[in-house]
Amino acid sequence: MGKIVLAYSGGLDTSILIRWLIEKYDAEVVTVTVNVGQREDLKALEEKALKIGATRHYSIDARREFAEKYLWSAVKANALYQGKYPLSTALARPLIASKLVEVARREGAEALAHGCTGRGNDQIRFDITLKALAPEMKVIAPVREWNLSREEEVAYARDRGIPIPSKDKPYSIDQNLWGRSIECGPLDDPAAEPPEDAFEWTVKPEEAPDQPQYVTIGFEKGIPIALNGREMEAVRLIEELNSLAGSQGVGRIDHVEDRVMGLKSREVYECPAALTLIEAHRDLEKLTLTGRELSFKHLVDLEWAWLAYAGLWVHPLREALEAFIEASQERVTGEVKVKLYKGSLTVVGRKAQKPVHDLTLTTSRLMEALDQALARGFIEHWGLQARACMLEKVEGKPKESLTD
């Protein structure tokens, strides 16, 4: 091969892959690091990749695109996989894959490579997106094909003088704007409480301030646009809310997750802003959407989250579901007040520009305006079928008894 474009994170796997791809395919290796908010020294990563043997390196700042095109879509879809995980890692993968393809076409590359193993979900997310966007290019997953243990990878790196990242903690960590994923080490035991050193974005709830923190989030057509009355662009809003909610111990997630490959895995996450924004958005929808809209949208949201988790971002069904979601957000404009206190997240107030009911009417005044006598006829019709079935089941009476 003439040239291979590699998704480069700077870790052990992708660092040894630079040399492995050169040796295996006698090819030039171009590395790409996509900044989605992982808080790393991108200049140091570039220098490391070039030192190992990459012929060229790209550092792409995609934080704004990630927030506006991926994370805001997730908010509008109230996206929580299995009701808990805000899809932080899953949402970043199709974006990174699309940037790899852009670089590969610019460089005239013949193949794309990533450092995913054959056990997790990321290989699916990368492979499917890459093959959909660049069907003419070969996709290489050396870690999956090579099947080396970490000990063997370390030995390979030492033999070739490749710097080995220091590991002061026994965890595998992936992070971006939307959250921090922590795996391995003591977390492998689902019965063990996560050690406190696994967390960085959130304080221990018991040690959070004794006074609650209130935040007000402004939405326009389902998109977060303001925090505590100040309009903000997407990246800054997410970063500030991560800090605010995390300082109150909000955002920790610990659950057993069903991976696409059929495995169950204990997963620990920190997602302060994601959980806060999704909860606030979902609450505002209750004020602005009808009951039937909410019921149907719940099904749509579940499927949207599954597609994003399962690596099917390029599936036409996601685009179709998103068309409905976008239409449903026309009235989702307003403010939501959230109370953050010692790890808890509670919506304590909301107002909307176009609520389903006129909120100038109190409940008592609204009841006075209705003719309560009409309720009797409605109830007779509403429960007709249920009563008919119950009569036959419990008393054995014919349905005609309903007219007695």
Is 168 labeled as catalytic in the residue annotation? no
102 CB neighbour count, 10 Å cutoff:
16
- Catalytic residue, chosen from 13, 127, 283, 301, is 13
Q: 7-20 b/e with 16+ CB inside 10 Å = b? A: bbbbbbbbbbbbbb
- Catalytic residue, chosen from 105, 144, 172, 259, is 172
CB-based contacts of 308: which residues, under 8 Å, 6+ apart?
74, 79, 81, 87, 90, 91, 318
Q: What is the DSSP letter of 136?
A: T
- Catalytic residue, chosen from 19, 63, 93, 318, is 93
Strands 3-7 and 111-113: parallel
Bridge partners, residue 161, by sequence = none
Is 166 labeled as catalytic in the residue annotation? no
Scan for tokens 């997410």, then name that residue: 238
Residue of 180, 200, 204, 178 lying closest to 267 (CA atoms): 180
Provide the CA 59 distance to its chain's centre, in angstroms: 23
Is 13 labeled as catalytic in the residue annotation? yes
- Catalytic residue, chosen from 19, 122, 252, 328, is 122
Helix, strand, coil percent content, the chain, rounded in steps of 5: 50, 20, 30
Is 188 labeled as catalytic in the residue annotation? no
Query: What angle separates helix 272-288 from helix 291-309, to the nearest 10 degrees?
Result: 150
End-to-end Cα distance, the chain: 86
Q: What residues are annotated to the active site? A: 13, 93, 122, 172
